[in-house]
């Protein structure tokens, strides 16, 4: 996930290692304070990721894609989604105006 207009996203690695459930309270502990819009992105993709890969709930897999990122994206923090990218393609994408 890349967010245009945001400096960076801080994940709480200690809390990620201790996740026991995928409810809203546990998702809130995984990320440090940030813009409400950015937090909503993190919540949406975290829920989809954890439901898909930890709970084996394939109903959420459709949310882990770029079209969903575009759907929930809001100005000024537009959202992009990377599924796979080589270093050669990543660097120009990051320095693009």
Neighbour tally for 27: CB within 10 Å: 20
On the question of a cis peptide bond just before residue 57, with omega within 30 degrees of 0, the verdict is no
With a cut of 70, say whether residue 96 has pLDDT above it. Answer: no
pLDDT in tens, 16-73: 667 676 666 666 666 555 678 888 888 999 999 999 999 999 999 999 988 999 899 9
Q: How confident is the model at residue 88, as a pLDDT? A: 80
């Amino acid at each position: 996930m890349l967010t245009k207009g945001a400096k960076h996203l801080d994940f709480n690695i200690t809390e990620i290692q201790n996740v026991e459930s995928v409810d809203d309270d546990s998702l809130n502990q995984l990320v440090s304070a940030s813009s409400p819009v950015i937090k909503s992105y993190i919540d949406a993709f975290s829920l989809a990721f954890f439901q898909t890969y930890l709970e084996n709930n394939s109903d959420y897999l459709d949310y882990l894609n770029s079209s969903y990122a575009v759907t929930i994206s809001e100005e000024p923090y537009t959202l992009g989604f990377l599924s796979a990218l080589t270093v050669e393609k990543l660097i120009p994408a990051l320095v693009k105006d």
